[in-house]
Amino acid sequence: MLGISGKSAPTEGSAATPTAQVGGGLRQRLSAFFRRHQGLFLFSSASGALIAAMVALSLVLTRPAPEDMTQEDIDNAVVDTLQNQSIPSRAAKAAELVREVVVHVRGFIDNDYGGYIEYGEGSGVVILDKGLILTNLHVVSGASRLTVTFSDGMESEAVVSSQHPENDLAVVQAKNIPDDLPAATLGSASRLKPGDEVVVVGFPFGIGPSVSAGVVSGLGREFKTPDGKRTLTQLIQFDAAANPGNSGGPLVTMDGEVVGIVTAILNPTRAGTFVGIGFAVTIAVAGNAVGIAPF
């Protein structure tokens, strides 16, 4: 077990154990019995089975007694396991807990040839197992066609079932869903503290699912949208890397609870990429906006 070996067997000339003495005498008696009745056993298949059983019994009786496992054996096994088997990080465990509830959201608009061209993309979180998905409004706004891709690769058409511009949120309903689709475990931001570890999962620049890890860097923040039309409040500030395409994805605790929906990044330049400050709408605010319990 786990690389533990017992003590070596006695060497030739050493005193035999009581078990070995008993087993050796029985083996001699069985051998003499077989020689006296050899003819009978050659013509009897039933007796052949009996011989096999007796041989097996003699082997069991002559097997050395198992050694007791010491505390040192146990300690060595634990050390060997820790040294030779990698243990997943806390961030990896958290990301795995939400893997099946994160979806890739893509929006399309009509082109001049009766087809569609991609208009934008982002991420989403399954909040009900019937295929109801929470994402950002700016991810789906203006799209004439929507698709969502689930963790197993299944793609489905989707429709916007409700919009909540005051919180930059939208609820999307997938038309088809995988079997046994799980829903996210939703948590409250009220237990968060600056410095708590969090993970962001989504599709930055359409690549993913991608995982980044960081900490909560602030609570109760405000953010004015680039168009200046809305001010989002009660936001979670975090420093896990987020980029265009992460919008609508989950902000996750180390317990795998979704406590926020990634909605914005702060960048003083026109690059539109992450410089260390991201914001997420809390699940409590999202719940009040979309009217879905429990949150």
Task: Report if residue 169 sits inside a domain.
Answer: yes
Please name the amino acid found at residue 39: G
Task: Report if residue 89 sits inside a domain.
Answer: no
Q: Is 168 assigned a catalytic role?
A: yes
Domain total for the chain?
A: 3
102 and 78 in one domain? Answer: no
Straight-line distance from the first to the last Cα atom of the chain, in angstroms, rounded to the nearest whole number: 46
Torsion of CA 100, 203, 140, 125, to 10 degrees: 20
> With 50 as the cut, is the pLDDT of residue 16 above it?
no
Task: Report if residue 138 sits inside a domain.
Answer: yes
Measured CA to CA, the distance from residue 211 to residue 38 in angstroms comes to 73
Lowest mean pLDDT among 14-18, 137-141, 205-209, 243-247: 14-18
Which member of 104, 168, 217, 239 is catalytic? 168
The reported pLDDT for the residue numbered 286 is: 87
99 and 78 in one domain? Answer: no
The reported pLDDT for the residue numbered 14 is: 42
Q: Count Cβ neighbours within 10 Å for each residue of 38-77 and write b for 16 or more, e otherwise.
A: eeeeeeeeeeeeeeeeeeeebeeeeeeeeeeeeeebeeee
Q: Is 247 assigned a catalytic role?
A: yes
Range of the domain at 231: 189-290
Task: Report if residue 3 sits inside a domain.
Answer: no
- What is the per-residue pLDDT across 236-281, written as a single tens digit (0 to 9) for each? 999 999 999 999 999 999 999 999 999 999 988 888 889 999 999 9
| pTM summary value | 0.71
Which member of 138, 164, 210, 217 is catalytic? 138
- What is the per-residue pLDDT across 123-150, written as a single tens digit (0 to 9) for each? 999 999 999 999 999 999 999 999 999 9
Domain CATH for 110: 2.40.10.10
Q: Is 138 assigned a catalytic role?
A: yes
